[in-house]
Chain A
């Protein structure tokens, strides 16, 4: 099996930001400025999303009442997350009864240690992996490759990103920013294939390359979309069949999931699965939605001998402890909020520097990785509410961005802002000072525009100041009322 070696993680923008969170804001601002000016990139991303809007609307129209269905989905997740204390142990007991083994991980490092140990115990020579954002969160590939294991991402988009040495651009559409000619060059370089401009032929090149890997791999690693408490099954949603193959052929199946993915029962799943597909990809249902209840049973033709599930906290309980924003844990990772977000479409997925991009990423990243370093994401929003409207489980996304801003102002107020408010209070209390200040402002605005002092530079770089008014509002008011 060919070993795929990614370049060091630090070469990618997202990974570099992750490595030094203190610079996350600076990097965000500079990357955003670069991407916003890249008109070709923006047009390409918009074009790629064009088909999604059409398909999503067509599928939404098949629902007899989409808005009410959102209520049901929202409530299914609300009741599960708010009963996690009861449902999580119930899920685990049922999953273990089905022959699966559960491994609890308080944080990313513990999850990494567990998976590394399992892979070593399995004496893995080859590992095949299907798409799993939680594994991006704990930087699993870099760890396993660093320890000498060959890991191949089997989802086409993730495979392309792995060959490019980049993290996913979008947590559902990992390589939506990459042109077909770039993919053709990439496959030619790494797989020795003939150049082609046909997406179908490119897909078949990856298919042929992957076929034997599934049969040869000893360990398959997957994520999980839902954990069903009632039956102890894990549910995996996909389109390509790569997760099916990953959990069918290798001897050991390891699944990694956040603890918040629990739902109460199969009835809830019957609502959530079609909504995930419609909101996420504009499909009636994604091609494969599979429930796994453990390793191969007696009498079954095939399947893994062992099934392991790693349950990850990694600050999810911190978000759970905030009742105001607890509903952010309802997220089913459909990506609908990214697809409609004007910020995402303009700054692109890498600018966020986070595992989870877009509006929902801006809400949860400060909880997972610290408000002080990641609050700037909450400012990167027009508060238009398109994300909240798109969310199939009705997470109040854009208000949570405001909540994050408020919390940041409370915990670490800006000295400059505080001083500004103090000065304003003093000025506003004295009408003569207020009038004088207004006069000064009107007469220096033009100068400020020309000189661009450091304090205003960032603001002025992207905005045009209107010409200063000839008179104050108070003068204008007096004039009108006469």
Chain B
């Protein structure tokens, strides 16, 4: 296979050229940016007036997220505070949010949607929190309910579904965001292709900040992260036509969050 050898060589040469250009370029240090705080001094462990040389930067002692946390939008301290902020943010984003006491109540909410809108087919993925909701809320209503992790499930089927039901990794109150992954969100298509996305989550999954959510998944998967982690903030939207907001550009037009507990 002479061609692939040539391509591998080209790639190796290009890699070496670019990396040596980078090393060469960083021989001369850049001044620190003009900041308002002494954050730079804290971070690089030196006063802001003495930038470290390009290649010999000391490792950072204060991470920007930790430093920036008190300056970013508030996510709330207690769980009740976080829930209040999350609910307010989701409503501003035009998502629907409902807190229910238990799984039976969650199934009732979903069942009501299925009946009211006369849904014919709702996709979901197998998950301890989803299984009982789908059994009592979807299948019991006579609605077809293909699971994406069933053998033989075709991604094309998603195109014909009225809604998709997923679990999530966490919810972020700070921004009104749901974090789904390809591990607990039923892959990549389920939370984006059907026109309605329903998320079922325990109230305990609500964290304050994006940083907290990322810390949590990093620990949860310990070095072998799912191939997709997606922060979802409201229903899909666009402002491309005269900067006027329209919901449901390519992803779901509607987003329902059902918090259990």
A102 CB to nearest chain B CB (Å): 8
Task: Say how far B173's CB is from chain A's closest CB, in angstroms.
Answer: 11
Tell whether, in the assembled complex, residue A327 and residue B218 are in contact, meaning their CB atoms are under 8 Å apart. Answer: no
Assess the B65–A271 pair: CB atoms within 8 A: yes
Q: Does A104 contact B (CB under 8 A)?
A: yes
Shortest A146–chain B CB gap in Å is: 22
The listed residue (B125, B211, B227) touching A270 by CB distance below 8 A is: B211
Chain B's closest residue to A184 (CB) is B241
Residues of B within 8 A of A199 (CB): 241-242, 244, 246
Q: Which of B14-48 contact A (CB under 8 A)?
A: 14-15, 17-19, 21-26, 28-37, 39-40, 43-44
Give the complex CA separation of A249 and B188 in angstroms: 8
Report the minimum CB–CB distance from B118 to chain A (whole Å).
20
Q: Is A231 an interface residue (CB 8 A)?
A: yes
Interface size class, chain A: 35 or more
User: If the complex has contacts A71-B37, A75-B64, A79-B60, are A293 and B226 also in contact, measured as CB distance less than 8 A?
Assistant: yes
B129 within 8 Å of A (CB atoms)? no
Shortest CB distance B240–A (Å): 4
The distance from the CB of A176 to the nearest CB of chain B, in whole angstroms, is 6
Q: Are A284 and B240 in contact (CB under 8 A)?
A: no
Please pick, from B14, B25, B64, B71, the residue contacting A64 in the complex, using a CB distance under 8 A: B71
A300→B183 contact, CB < 8 A = yes
For chain B, residues 223 to 237, give those with C-beta under 8 angstroms from any C-beta of chain A: 225-237
What chain B residues lie within 8 Å of A281 (beta carbons)?
239
**How many pairs, one residue from A and one from B, have CB atoms within 8 Å of each other in the complex?**
339
CB contact between B39 and one of A75, A178, A242 (< 8 Å): that residue: A75
- Say which residue of A270, A286, A296, A299 sits within 8 Å of B209 (CB atoms): A270
Given A74-B33, A75-B39, A79-B43, also A239-B236 (CB < 8 A)? yes
Q: Report how far A51 CA is from B243 CA in the complex, Å.
A: 7
Interface of B is mostly: loop
Within 8 A of B (CB), among A73-119: 73-76, 78-79, 81-85, 88-89, 98-99, 102-106, 110, 117
Chain A nearest Cβ from B47, distance in angstroms: 14
Complex alpha-carbon distance, A378 and B156, angstroms: 51
For the complex, give the distance between the alpha carbons of A154 and B251 in Å: 12
- Find residues 194-222 in chain A having any chain B CB closer than 8 Å to their own CB: 199-200, 202-204, 206-207, 210-212, 214-215
Q: Does any Cβ of B come within 8 Å of A291's Cβ?
A: yes
Which residues of B are in contact with A by a Cβ distance under 8 Å?
7, 11, 14-15, 17-19, 21-26, 28-37, 39-40, 43-44, 54-55, 57, 60, 63-68, 70-74, 89, 93, 125, 148-149, 153, 155-156, 159, 174-177, 182-183, 186-190, 192-193, 209-211, 214-215, 218, 225-244, 246, 248-252
Q: A174-B240, A245-B192, A291-B229 are in contact. List 5 more A-B contacts (CB 8 A).
A: A48-B242, A84-B26, A104-B11, A156-B249, A296-B187
Closest 7 A/B residue pairs (Cβ): A241-B251, A301-B187, A240-B249, A267-B65, A72-B68, A248-B188, A157-B240
Which of A's residues lie within 8 Å of B, judged by CB? 48-49, 51-52, 62-76, 78-79, 81-85, 88-89, 98-99, 102-106, 110, 117, 154-157, 160, 173-176, 178-180, 183, 199-200, 202-204, 206-207, 210-212, 214-215, 231, 233, 239-242, 244-245, 247-249, 259, 264-271, 273-274, 281, 283-297, 299-303, 311, 313, 317-318, 320-321, 323-324, 326-327, 330, 394, 396
